[in-house]
Amino acid sequence: MATITAADVKKLREMTGAGMMDCKKALVEAEGDFEKAVDILRKKGIATARKKAGRVAAEGAALAKSKGGIGAIVEVNSETDFVAKNELFRDFAERLLDLVLQTKPQDLDALLAAPWEAGKKVEEALVELIAKVGENVRVRRFALLTGDHVASYVHMGGKIAVLVAFQGEIDEEAAHQIAMHVAAMNPRYRAREDVPEEDLAREREVLAEQARATGKPEHIVEKIVEGRLRKFYEENCLLEQGFVFDEDKKVRDLLGGAELIGFVRYQLGEGIEKQQSDFAAEVAAQVQGG
C-alpha cells in the first residue's frame, strides 16, 4: 500500500481545489497515483465543485412557505440568473425549504448536516449540484417563524420572500396582504417599541443637526425632531406604515383582534458585493476550461 504524505495531499489539493480530506481519501483509493486520484475526485464532482466554492454567488432564489402556525424562509445563491432558473437548482432550493419546515434545524451547520436522500447529507447534495450546474451554489441563510398563524409570500419567483407571524385569529386574506406589504415596503422594525435605542439616538442626532442647520433655536429644534421622528416611525415601523393597498389605513388596522408578533424579509443578494465581470471573457474562460 502506497504511503500518502501531507505533501502529496497538498499537491492534489492545489491541482484540484478539493478539500484536504477529499484529497487524502482519493489518494488512498488511487494508491498514490495522482492521475487516478484526480479522476476519482472529478467523478465525484468534488474537484470542480471545490474550485467554484470561492466565487461570488449573489443570484439564486429567496423562498418562503407556511403551514398553519409555522413558516420557513430560505435563500440559496447561485452565480448567475441563468442557473437560478435551472430546474436542478429550483428543485434543490424548494426541497431545502421543505426540509427546513419539517426538521426545524437550529442553525446553518445543522441544516447542511441534515439527511437528504440515499444516505447523503445536504452538504453532499450541494456539492453534487455545484458539479452539475457548473458554478458556485451557496445555502446562505434560513429562518423559522411560529405563531397562531404564519403568512408567506414570494415575489417575482424568488427575488423577495416574506414570513409574517400573528397571535390570535386573523383573516387569511388580510394576513397574506400584510406579507405582500412587507415585500413592497421593506419595514425595518415591527413597531416603534422595537426600534433599538442606539438607532433612535442616531436618528435624533441627524434630525437635530438638520434642524440646527436652518438656524432654528434649540427649543424649536426639539419640537421639529419630535415631529420628524413620527415620520420616521411611519416610514420604518411595519404597524405604523400606510397600507400599500389602501393609504387611508395603517397596517395595524388590518389586524382585527390579532397581534403581529414578527416578520422576516429576505431580498435576494442583499448585502452581497457583486463582482463586475466581462461576460464575453467569462464565457470564453469557461469554454477554454472545459
CATH number of the domain at 239, please: 1.10.286.20
Give the per-residue pLDDT at 20: 79
Q: Is 17 helix (H, G, I), strand (E, B) or coil?
A: coil
Both 122 and 87 in one domain: the answer is yes
Q: According to the model, what pLDDT value does residue 21 have?
A: 83
Say what the pLDDT of residue 56 is: 75
Residues 145 and 130 in one domain: yes
Query: Is the CB of residue 130 less than 8 Å from the CB of residue 99?
Result: no
Whether residue 115 lies inside any domain: the answer is yes
Average the pLDDT over 42-66 and give the result.
78
Q: d(Cα 37, Cα 53) in Å, to the nearest integer?
A: 20
Q: What is the mean pLDDT of residues 117-140?
A: 90
Instruction: Check: CB of residue 61 under 8 Å from CB of residue 36.
Output: no
State whether 227 and 93 are in the same domain.
Answer: no
Q: Does 167 share its domain with 24?
A: no
182 domain-assigned: no
220, 118: one domain: no
Q: What percent of the chain has pLDDT over 70?
A: 90
Q: What is the pLDDT of residue 47?
A: 61
- Return all residues near 100 (Cβ < 8 A) that are at least 6 apart: 72, 74, 111, 142, 144
- Residues 75 and 94: beta-carbon distance below 8 Å: no
Whether 124 and 15 map to the same domain: the answer is no
pLDDT band at 41 (very low <50, low <70, confident <90, very high): confident
Number of domains observed in the structure of the chain = 3
Q: What is the CATH classification number for the domain harbouring 31?
A: 1.10.8.10
Q: Are residues 151 and 229 in the same domain?
A: no
Asked whether residue 129 is domain-assigned, the answer is yes
**pLDDT, position 279:** 46
From residue 150, how far is each of 69, 102, 163, 255, 285 by CA, in Å? 5, 15, 7, 13, 46
Residues 48 and 64 in one domain: no
Query: What does the block give as the cell for 8?
Result: 502529496
46 within a domain of the structure (yes/no)? yes
Cα(137)–Cα(217) distance, integer angstroms: 56
The set of residues, in sequence order, having a beta carbon less than 8 Å from that of 41 and lying 6+ positions away, is 12, 16, 18, 22, 23, 26, 47
Q: Tell which wins on pLDDT, 50 or 38.
A: 38
200 and 77 fall within a common domain: no
Q: Is residue 146 part of a domain?
A: yes
Element (H, E) at 269: none
Per the CB < 8 A criterion, the answer to whether 132 and 45 are in contact is yes
Confidence of residue 49 (pLDDT cuts 50, 70, 90): low
Under the banding of pLDDT at 50, 70 and 90, the label for residue 275 is: low
Give the pLDDT score at 69.
Answer: 96
Using the predicted structure, report yes or no on whether residue 167 has a pLDDT greater than 90.
yes
180 within a domain of the structure (yes/no): no
The domain that holds 103 is classified in CATH as 3.30.479.20
Q: Please tell me whether residues 37 and 142 are part of one structural domain.
A: no
Taking every pair of Cα atoms in the chain, the longest distance, rounded to a whole number of angstroms, is 87
Its pTM surpasses 0.85: no
Average pLDDT over residues 28-54: 77
Burial of 60 (0-12, 13-18, 19+ CB in 10 A): buried
pLDDT for residue 290 is more than 50: no
CB 172 within 8 A of CB 115: no
Instruction: Quote the CA–CA distance of 144 and 105 in Å, as a whole number.
Output: 9
Residue 186 lies in a domain: no
73: left (phi over 0), alpha (psi -120 to 50) or beta: beta
Please check whether residues 168 and 63 belong to one and the same domain.
yes
Mean pLDDT of all residues in 239-268: 97
The residues pairing with 164 across neighbouring beta strands, listed in sequence order, are 151, 263
- Alpha-carbon distance of 257 to 169, in angstroms, equals 7
Per the model's pLDDT, the better-predicted residue between 47 and 6 turns out to be 6
pLDDT band at 12 (very low <50, low <70, confident <90, very high): confident
In tens, the pLDDT along 174-204 reads 999 999 999 999 999 999 999 999 999 999 9
Domain that holds residue 162: 59-174+262-270
Residue carrying the nine cell digits 414570513: 163
Residue 54 pLDDT > 70: no
pLDDT band for 212, please (50, 70, 90 cuts): very high
User: What pLDDT digit, counting tens, does each position of 59-105 carry?
Assistant: 999 999 999 899 999 999 999 999 999 999 999 999 999 999 999 99
At 286, is the pLDDT very low, low, confident or very high (cuts 50, 70, 90)?
very low
Mean of all residue pLDDT scores within the chain: 90
Q: Is residue 216 part of a domain?
A: yes
63 and 156 in a common domain: yes
